[in-house]
Chains A and B, each alone.
Chain A
């Protein structure tokens, strides 16, 4: 009988758990010893990592240059191309709305991850405060095949290691009226917009820097933009 995997995890953390029998087994059994040593590798690395270490994403220009260099996805006659191409940073939108030029292999065999079905609104997000003057972003609103509204945000900002970034829809006439959309994952956000929210009124998209667990708008807006309906 091999050692309980959960016990191995705790042992890998250096906890004093398990019976004498367990310890004997772990030392004698190559499988369990190997598993323990791998888990200890992970915990060792984990201990050496700074709590605040995050990865830095390259700017959207880099992907644009790669596409240029490799001559990828050059839509000649696609109707949706002109509008979408002008909006930097939303790579996945381009993937979805442009007719694919590459052959879709059976290997992909999964439902399309493309964003949206029909583009409804877009906006450039711009900073409002000097401390975020280098930040920018884009937002796109589209409907999926079920008619649900999806809002996708791509931020370009140097994110502080602490806190979270939150998206809000703000009433165009009364800035105190705010509807929360959700939290961004790094520089990206994707949310459904509940159908009763009137985007003609709640037209301002606001991305704020929030402390973890802070429920009210912090007052620190990173970028903001007005959703401009297309068509």
Chain B
């Protein structure tokens, strides 16, 4: 239903590249929240963010043949398109005589923090880990507990806690690598 399974990202990417419309729908399901959230934070209005989101996915579809999956992962490519679309939207808004949309929250004119994308992706992925692994990781990251302390707190063995930590960090890294233009 919703493309939650990123282990088939290569498959969906290939189908997208080849022009399968259902692949676009799956990619939209999976990545539009990230695109929309980045735009919303940068531009401050739902209307502008939705316009950017629409533009990103239509542009991605029409330029899909220019996209080389061997050079950059599809999500990273989408994030790149998003950044350009946000910059264009800012320029259009700031031009005199252009009817601007009234921001609902304070829009920041300074550049977004460089790792905003990564932070949003990480936050989102943490909420998908499952209740036990998520709690383990939160206790480790935010409460600074050791794995032994976490084990005591959650009534698990230290081995189970360590396994949760390792698997979760690997999953998070894998997702982060998808949105990072690390090539």
B138 contacts partner chain A, Cβ-Cβ < 8 Å: yes
The answer to whether A6 touches B141, judged by C-beta atoms less than 8 angstroms apart, is no
The answer to whether A95 touches B50, judged by C-beta atoms less than 8 angstroms apart, is no
Per-residue B-contact encoding for A51-80, CB less than 8 Å = 1, 0 else: 101111111011101100110110000000
Q: Interface on chain B toward A: helix, strand, loop, or mixed SS?
A: helix
- Which of the segments A36-44, A122-130, A168-176 contacts the partner chain? A36-44
List 18 A-B residue pairs with CB atoms under 8 Å apart, sorted by A's residue number: A5-B166, A6-B162, A9-B165, A13-B141, A15-B147, A42-B122, A45-B119, A45-B122, A54-B124, A55-B36, A56-B36, A56-B37, A58-B33, A62-B54, A66-B28, A66-B58, A70-B58, A104-B20
The answer to whether A9 touches B19, judged by C-beta atoms less than 8 angstroms apart, is no
Which B residues are in CB contact (< 8 Å) with A202?
none
Assembled-state Cα–Cα distance A69/B20 (Å): 16
B89 contacts partner chain A, Cβ-Cβ < 8 Å: no
The answer to whether B176 touches A70, judged by C-beta atoms less than 8 angstroms apart, is no
Which B residues are in CB contact (< 8 Å) with A113?
1, 26
The answer to whether A10 touches B147, judged by C-beta atoms less than 8 angstroms apart, is yes
Assembled-state Cα–Cα distance A59/B51 (Å): 11
Partner pick for A6 among B26, B33, B163, CB 8 A cutoff = B163
B92 contacts partner chain A, Cβ-Cβ < 8 Å: no
Which A residues are in CB contact (< 8 Å) with B26?
113
Assembled-state Cα–Cα distance A114/B112 (Å): 38
The answer to whether A63 touches B28, judged by C-beta atoms less than 8 angstroms apart, is yes
B11 → chain A closest CB, angstroms: 6
Which A residues are in CB contact (< 8 Å) with B21?
72-73, 101-102
Q: Do A66 and B57 contact each other (CB < 8 Å), given the known contacts A38-B173, A59-B50, A91-B25?
A: yes
